[in-house]
Structure 1
Amino acid sequence: MTDLFGDSPEHDELEYEEERASRRQRRTSGQGGNGRGDSRSAREVARRRRRSIFSFVVMIAILGGIGFFAVKIIVPSVTPDPQATPMVTDYPGPGHDEVTVDIPEGANGAQIGDILTTAGVVATTDAFSAAFAANSAATSIQPGSYSLALEMKASDAVSALLDPNRRVDSRITIPEGWRADQIYARIADNLGIPVEDVTTAAHDYASFGLDGPPNTNDGVLDPMEGWFYPSTYSVPPGSTAADVLKQMYDRTISELDKLGVAPEDRLRVLTIGSIAIKEAFFEEDWPKVTRVIENRLVPGNATGATTLGMDSTLDYAWSVQNPGQTMDPSLHNSDTSPYNTRKNSGLPPSPIGSIDSRLMEAAVYPEEGDWVFFVSTDLCSGVTTFTDDYNEFLQLQEQFRAWNEKYVANGSTCPVPEG
């Protein structure tokens, strides 16, 4: 037994051996026990016994302390407390109170779950993700602002996001090809504010992170023309015109960046794409129109000039400066506007409308071809023919004139297709 507080075991053993040797010496010398020696031996035995008993008691106390620590500290930490509150993975519903949450464009189930968990709508992202995966309609959840209850069952939260009555925002849809003045009017109507306020917000360049106008070309009618992306936007309660316009501007920059368009080339891409949508009816023709534009800008091309000769550019300027009026075609050859691409070489000073990513891509990647002419020979069907031959171009013009005579004679109404 180890003596924890007294002499070392080695010392006791040495002392004991010395005592045995002394007793042997006394026996050998004929000095048997004389009373004093026996008394001293008895005291030694008693001292050792007391020391052993004390050490045993101390050891029992230490082991008892360890046992107490294990029972009170370690065991509770690894053994579930039957009285403890279990972790909530999904609320039972139906929930209480109301909170507004914003679901951004392109958010997936897990991202929506994170948003709702943070807002206190659902208990966990995992519960919402599972409910999202179990509902086949969940992928049609639209971006926007929703009024939802706190502590909803995850499956109920998915259903609520699919309920249009839960929407607390309004929506603005901007079609492809719309001019900036048309966009301003729609935003004003949606927000219930004067269109002048929207126009002012559109030209607060600092609100877009700009040091000045993004277009400083001579003769430009609106420096922000073409910079507002056409799409459907969520407008949360309390949004300002600047908030809405910033969404549209940022989307344009984002889409251009995705296509790898350098900042110095953005205006050119927007301008070419905006002409393509005005000149061709069908998406598959847009890359052909952008190729014609590029080919016509090359000196020495088959047209003999570097003018685009596209009436859509001057029609744009006329519409902006004369709202609600139709331009007389005879003015195409005489109007001195910088947007008259029959008279002026190169591109017009600005885009002539807003374009989406498909038109941006058509401007960045024109279809390969030598075409420098195209004619839509039937405006009702949208059929457009492309050529690099001037004589063929003249024949296509004759076909268009013949079609137009019938169109006018029919009261400018396209015939209803048979069947």
Structure 2
Amino acid sequence: MTEPHLEHSIFGADETHDPRRQGSVPPPEPQLRRHRARRRPARRRRRFLVLLLAIAIVGGAVYGAYRALWPVVQQLTASNDYPGPGSGQVQVTVNDGDTGRAIGVSLEKADVVKSSKAFLDAASADTRSASIQPGTYTLKKQMAAKDALAILVNPKNRTVPKVTIPEGLWLSEILARLSKSTGIPIKEYQLAAKDTASLGLPASAKGNLEGYLFPATYEFPAKSTAREQLTTMVDKTVAELSQAGVSEQDMERTMIVASIVEGEVNGKADRPKVARVIENRLTQKSGPTRGFLQMDSTVHYAVKKRGKAGTTNADRASTSPYNTYRHQGLPPGPINSPGAASIAAAAHPAPGPWLFFVTVNPATGETRFATTTAEHQANVNLFNKWCRDHAGKC
């Protein structure tokens, strides 16, 4: 009886405590799943917060970059040209030798164009840009580059200090004209005229500037100095002498003869014949002239008299070395600034035997030539008749 009881109690204990049979104790695996399920929402919230923070950081960086780079982007994408038409007035000077880039920089500094590049782009597209001339131009502020270019390529829109020096003026007269036309004080011209070494004067001139300021119409750069202007004029004279085939050692003599030709001839005709008369008289050691030029123009220079043809007895009595009635040979220097025609005539006199000439009609410049004293006297009589018919002109 005892054994069955023990067996029963063993099986009974096993049955009572077997969780699989009674179901009172939950299995461990489902319990772990519930704990994990409770932790997942917390992890998701943390991940969301981290994501939001990352988005905020990235967004801030993007915004900062946007703030920093936007002006650069605007600059890169903005037009480098004004739309025009501009307003107001501004003057811009184009100097001799200025390149297109230099002109563009000047326009940009004056706020005529938005950028020099805009002007260069407009100039490269217009072949007329190569013809822009030195001068001062009146433009508007904030113009379109092509409109500014259109003004610059039209010579009518420029203003320049312009001065015209006619043939035959004395040095003193030329300096006065230059000063009046340019506004530079005459003292600056007189001072520059003394420094002939810096003006490019030929050595044969021996420092005498008379005659070497070439007569022409000049358009000097707006800011040119008195010395620069005189240098330009001397360079022009030297160029004309070289073109006429005159060597440097012969330049002074040629200029003296040319200045006498200029002073004696009214008009374009007969200059080479007048030059021949001068050369013939210089070589004649005897006869009616005996080496005396007897030119009224040299006496006019000696006594500084303008406005009348011929000379008086008092004028011809002057002791000046420029009085060729009293002194044989050429005067010591040029008596005026001769033009190209007179320089060419002095360099290449016409062949002929003439010893005399006289302008029988100063109004028209009609000049007659002679080889004998009698022929010359007949021509002089014609001149005297003209003077009687035109009182106060001789």
Q: Report whether the alignment pairs 1:119 with 2:103.
A: yes
| Residue aligning to 1:208 | 199
Amino acid at match of 1:374: F
- How far apart are the structure 1 equivalents of 2:374 and 2:291? 19
- How far apart are the structure 1 equivalents of 2:137 and 2:253? 39
Counterpart contact for 2:281–2:290, Cα < 8 Å: yes
| Residue aligning to 1:341 | 324
Q: Helix, strand or coil for the counterpart of 1:341? A: coil
Q: Helix, strand or coil for the counterpart of 1:123? A: helix
Counterpart contact for 1:101–1:148, Cα < 8 Å: no
Q: TM-score, normalised by structure 2?
A: 0.65
Q: Which has the higher helix share?
A: 2
| Alpha-carbon distance change, 291 to 157 in structure 1, aligned in 2, over 3 angstroms | farther
State the Cα RMSD in Å.
Answer: 3.7
Once the two structures are superposed, residues 347-382 of structure 1 have per-residue CA deviations (whole angstroms, 9 ceiling, x without a partner) of 111111112222211111112211111111122222
| Residue aligning to 1:378 | 361
| Alpha-carbon distance change, 253 to 124 in structure 1, aligned in 2, over 3 angstroms | farther
Counterpart contact for 2:299–2:324, Cα < 8 Å: yes
| Alpha-carbon distance change, 283 to 325 in structure 1, aligned in 2, over 3 angstroms | closer
Alignment of 1:102-117 (within 5 A): 102-103=95-96, 115-116=99-100
Q: Report whether the alignment pairs 1:181 with 2:164.
A: no
Q: Which runs of 5+ in 1 are unaligned?
A: 1-84, 105-113, 133-137, 217-221, 414-419
Larger radius of gyration: 2
- How far apart are the structure 2 equivalents of 1:281 and 1:160? 40
Q: Helix, strand or coil for the counterpart of 1:264? A: helix
Amino acid at match of 2:356: F
Q: Which runs of 5+ in 2 are unaligned?
A: 1-76, 105-118
| Alpha-carbon distance change, 164 to 317 in structure 1, aligned in 2, over 3 angstroms | farther
Q: Percent identity?
A: 36
| Alpha-carbon distance change, 369 to 157 in structure 1, aligned in 2, over 3 angstroms | farther
Q: Helix, strand or coil for the counterpart of 2:328? A: coil
Amino acid at match of 2:95: D
| Alpha-carbon distance change, 160 to 325 in structure 1, aligned in 2, over 3 angstroms | same
1:160 to 147, 152, 157: 152
- How far apart are the structure 1 equivalents of 2:170 and 2:92? 37
Amino acid at match of 2:251: R
| Alpha-carbon distance change, 205 to 151 in structure 1, aligned in 2, over 3 angstroms | farther
| Residue aligning to 1:24 | none
1:364 to 337, 340, 347: 347
Displacement of 1:345 in angstroms is 1.3
Once the two structures are superposed, residues 75-122 of structure 1 have per-residue CA deviations (whole angstroms, 9 ceiling, x without a partner) of xxxxxxxxxx9xx9xx99879987532357xxxxxxxxx933663344
- The number of aligned residues is 299
| Residue aligning to 1:219 | none
Counterpart contact for 1:94–1:152, Cα < 8 Å: no
| Residue aligning to 2:190 | 199
| Residue aligning to 2:380 | 397
Q: TM-score, normalised by structure 1?
A: 0.61
Q: Helix, strand or coil for the counterpart of 1:242? A: helix
| Alpha-carbon distance change, 262 to 142 in structure 1, aligned in 2, over 3 angstroms | same
